[in-house]
Amino acid sequence: MAVGRNRLHSNKRFAARYNKTVCNLGGAIRRFNGGDNMTGHDQRSWKLHIRKDNLKFSAAHMTVFPDGSKESLHGHNYEVTLEVELTAPTLAQMLSYAAFKQALRSVCDSWDEKVLLAGANPWFILLPGPEGEYNFRLCGKRYVLPMDEVAILDVDNITVENLTQLFFERFWHVLTQDQAVSWRERILAARLRIDESRGQGATYSVRFNR
Ligand SMILES: Nc1nc2c(c(=O)[nH]1)N=C([C@H](O)[C@H](O)COP(=O)(O)OP(=O)(O)OP(=O)(O)O)CN2
């Protein structure tokens, strides 16, 4: 009987020592991993962001105000930033920066060195004019400009808010021409930001329905 009791006692001592070792080992692993191990239930997200010196467009515009008044013709060096939220970045589904930058540059180029006009603005009136020129009135003032230096946009005002949405829609159209990629499956959400000057601009966000 005594032998049995001693064996039970030594087994208990072994178990206590074993558990202590495992706990220490677990603690060491946690410390090695720099803290608690991630669990499969944690929320994870990956975002690519792209902002480059050449992702910009220099354009002129005239902001119209609700009372029908407007600013004089002036320009900005607009800077573009893209952020895309992705599903898990597996090698098989990697999306290279290049595709995004090429599509962003394509839209920047289409508005660079242009006078941007809001074609849907109630105070914008296109008048008959000579070949190759736009003859128009905006808020009562008349302008004649070479067609190749003007971009008439389907918005009611040339504001950064409107430019961000229209820029994103055109960017997305260019990007998704490559039908080898299931873009809407890989990209959960996107944000496009345009700064018209340091400290001033707008951001347009879209989260794709799954
Ligand atoms: N909601 C918006 N308001 C204004 C916009 C716009 O895009 N969305 N744009 C303008 C003009 O672009 C204007 O040239 C810039 O605005 P402004 O307040 O004049 O700021 P400036 O950069 O010119 O410099 P300040 O030093 O702040 O005067 C107007 N409004």
pLDDT digits (tens, 9 = 90+) for 163-198: 999 999 999 999 999 999 999 999 999 999 999 999
Does any ligand 1 atom lie closer than 6 A to the CB of residue 195?
A: no
Looking at every residue in the chain, the average pLDDT score rounds to 88
DSSP bridge partners of 48? 84
Give the CA diameter of the chain: 116
Any residues with CB less than 8 A from the CB of 107 and at least 6 apart, and which? 80, 167, 170, 171, 174
pLDDT of amino acid 48? 96
Segment 193-209 mean pLDDT:
96
Question: pTM here?
Answer: 0.82
Segment 66-71 mean pLDDT:
97
For a pocket test of ligand 1, which of 62, 156, 197 has the largest count of ligand atoms closer than 8 A to its C-beta? 197
Where is pLDDT greater, at 87 or 137?
137
Burial class (CB in 10 A: 0-12, 13-18, 19+), 25: exposed
Q: How confident is the model at residue 3 (pLDDT cuts 50, 70, 90)?
A: low
ipTM for this model: 0.93
Q: Please say whether the dihedral angle defined by the alpha carbons of residues 204, 205, 209 and 210, taken in this order, is positive or negative.
A: positive
Locus of tokens 């990007």: 175
Does any ligand 1 atom lie closer than 6 A to the CB of residue 159?
A: yes
Q: Which of 16-25, 65-74, 177-186, 194-203 has the lowest mean pLDDT?
A: 16-25
Q: Which of 4-18, 58-72, 132-146 has the lowest mean pLDDT?
A: 4-18
Looking at domain 46-207, what is its CATH homologous superfamily?
Answer: 6-pyruvoyl tetrahydropterin synthase/QueD (3.30.479.10)
Does any ligand 1 atom lie closer than 6 A to the CB of residue 160?
A: yes
Domain definitions of the chain by residue range: 1-40, 46-207
Q: For ligand 1, atom 27, name the residue with the nearest CA.
A: 200
CA R_g for the chain = 30
pLDDT of amino acid 12? 59
